Structure 1
Amino acid sequence: MALGSRLRMLAAKVTDDAAKIYGLYEVTLAPKWFPVFFVLSEADGKTITEIAKEIGHSQPSVSKIVREMAASGLIVENINSGDKRQNVISLSEKGKELIDKISFQYRDIDRAIDGIIAEATHNLWEALAEWEFLLEQQSLFSRVQEEKKRRESDEVILVDYQSKYQAAFKALNEAWISDYFEMEESDYKALDNPQEYILDNGGKILVALYQGEPVGVCALIKMNDPRYDYELAKMAVSPKVQGKGIGWLLGKAIVDKARKAGAKALYLESNTILKPAINLYHKLGFRKVTGYPSPYKRCNIQMELAINPPTAT
C-alpha cells in the first residue's frame, strides 16, 4: 500500500505539471490524450484496437479519449476506410498542426528529464521498466504467496513415526481415500498396523508436525522387487494446512531417506483424479511406467523415480 501510494503521489505531481507545461507552450491538448496523439503523429490512420495495444490501454479507455479528441476537432474517424466496420482514427488538420508546435515542448522536456536523471542517484525510468518487467514475469501477489508458504513451511517439523502418531496416520489417509474412493483391504493392513506392516519389514514413515499437531504423513514400504527398493505410499496432508508446501517437504524428505538408505529406485501408485498429488510426484522427478500389478482398484497410474546416490561431502 505504501509503494502504491507513493507511486500515485508521484504520478499526480507529474500529471499536474504536465497540464501546466501544455499551457506554457499554448498546446491545447489534455495530458491524458497525449498517448493517442503521439501514436497517430508517428503513423496516422489506426484502429481503436491498434492504438490500445500500442499504448497499453483498454479499448473502452481509448474509445473515450477518441470521442473527447474528436469533439475538440483534433481527430477524425473512418477516413479512407475500405471496411466500414473498422473505425480508423486519423489526426485532423488541426491535430496535424500540433505536431510541429509540440516539437519544441518535446525537446525541452527531454532535456529537463535528462537533467533530473543526471542529478539522481538512480534512474527512475530504467527502474520502472525493470519493475514492470519483473512484475509481468511474476506478480506481487504470487511473490507474497510464495513467501507466506516459505515462512509457514519453516514452522513444519518432520519427525520419524512413533506409535503415538498411529491414529493420525490412519485418520489422515482414511480421510482423503474416503473422499475420492473406498477403503480397501490393503489400506487397512497398512493403516491399522503400520509398525508391523511397514516398519518391521524395513520401511519408514515420516510425520509432519505443524504447531505441534500431526498434519501430514508419508511412508516408504519395502518392496521385494529387483526394479524397486521402496514404494512411496500413504502420503496425506490435512486439508486444514494444504497450501503450505507440506506435501513437497514430506516428498523431498522421504526421497532423501530412501537415498540415504541406499535405494536406487522408488515406485508409487496413484490415480489421475488426484491432480495436485500427480503434479507433486512429477515435481519430485517421478515418471509414468506401466505393467506392474496393483492390489488397489483405484490405481490407474504407476510411476517410478531413479535415485541418484548421496553426494559426498
Structure 2
Amino acid sequence: MNLYQSLGYLVLGSRLRRLSEAFLAEINRAYQNAGIDFDASWFPVFYLLSKNDALSIKELSEQIEVSHPAASQLIANLKKRGLVSTDTCSDDGRRQLVTLTTSGRELLAQIMPVWAAITEAMTQLVEGDETALQLLPAVTALENTFRQSKLADNIVEKLNTNLKPAGNE
C-alpha cells in the first residue's frame, strides 16, 4: 500500500486529481498519436455541440457543471482556434450562442471515432475486474452525496464536537 492509499479520505481529492490527470494525459496522447490536434479538456463542449446545433454559454456551463466564467474562458480559447463561433441570440441580445465552425465540425468528425475507441478500450480494461466495474457507479454515488451535503459544515461540526473542553457537557 502506498502513501496515498494508506491516508484514505485525507487525500481523496489528491488521488482523484492524480487519476484524472493520468487519464487525461493518456487520452491526449491517443489524440496526438492519431495525428489529431484536440485536447481532452474540450470534450464536453464538443460533445454537447455534437448533439445540439447551438447552445448558449450559460447552457454549456450548466450542463458541464462549471462556472459561467470558466465556460466563457473555454469558449474564448476554442474561438481563438477557429473551432467555435459565437453569435448574439436574436430573441435575447444578452445571450451568446455557441456553434461549431466548419473547422470545428471537421475536427468533430475526426474525434468521434476516438471517442468510440476510448469507450471500447476502457470497457475492455475494467471488464475483468469486478471492483473496477464499480468505479463509475461509485463516482456517481459520491457526486450525488456531495450535492446533498455540506462536507465543510460537517467537518466544522466534528471539530466543534471533538474540541469541547472536558466538563462542559
TM-score normalised by the shorter chain: which range applies? 0.7 to 0.9
The gaps in structure 1 that reach 5 residues or longer are: 154-209, 216-245, 247-313
Whole-Å Cα distance in 1 between the matches of residues 130 and 54 of structure 2?
41
Cα offset, 1:55, TM superposition:
0.5
Question: Residue type of the partner of 1:143?
Answer: N
Give the TM-score normalised by structure 2.
Answer: 0.81
Cα offset, 1:146, TM superposition:
4.5
Cα offset, 1:121, TM superposition:
3.1
Tell me how large the CA RMSD over aligned residues is. 2.2
Q: Residue 135 of structure 2 corresponds to which residue in structure 1?
A: 124
* Number of equivalent positions: 158
Q: Would the alpha carbon gap of residues 141 and 84 (structure 1) be closer, same or farther in structure 2, given more than 3 Å must change?
A: closer
Whole-Å Cα distance in 1 between the matches of residues 58 and 48 of structure 2?
12
Q: Residue 96 of structure 1 corresponds to which residue in structure 2?
A: 105
Q: Is the 8 A contact 1:47 1:86 kept in 2?
A: yes
The equivalent position to 1:21 in structure 2, one of 13, 17, 30, is: 30
Which secondary structure does the structure 2 equivalent of 1:89 belong to? strand
Q: Would the alpha carbon gap of residues 86 and 112 (structure 1) be closer, same or farther in structure 2, given more than 3 Å must change?
A: same
Which secondary structure does the structure 1 equivalent of 2:113 belong to? helix
Q: Is the 8 A contact 1:45 1:89 kept in 2?
A: yes
Whole-Å Cα distance in 2 between the matches of residues 143 and 84 of structure 1?
43
Whole-Å Cα distance in 2 between the matches of residues 77 and 149 of structure 1?
50
More strand by share: 1
Structure ID, larger Rg:
1
The gaps in structure 2 that reach 5 residues or longer are: 1-9
Using the aligned pairs only, state the percent identity: 25
Cα offset, 1:46, TM superposition:
1.0
Q: Residue 6 of structure 2 corresponds to which residue in structure 1?
A: none
Q: Residue 138 of structure 1 corresponds to which residue in structure 2?
A: 149
Whole-Å Cα distance in 2 between the matches of residues 143 and 121 of structure 1?
32
Q: Residue 5 of structure 2 corresponds to which residue in structure 1?
A: none
Question: Residue type of the partner of 2:148?
Answer: Q
Whole-Å Cα distance in 1 between the matches of residues 68 and 163 of structure 2?
42
Whether 1:69 aligns to 2:78 is: yes
Question: Residue type of the partner of 1:86?
Answer: R
More helix by share: 2
Q: Which has the higher contact order (CA 8 A, sep 6+)?
A: 2
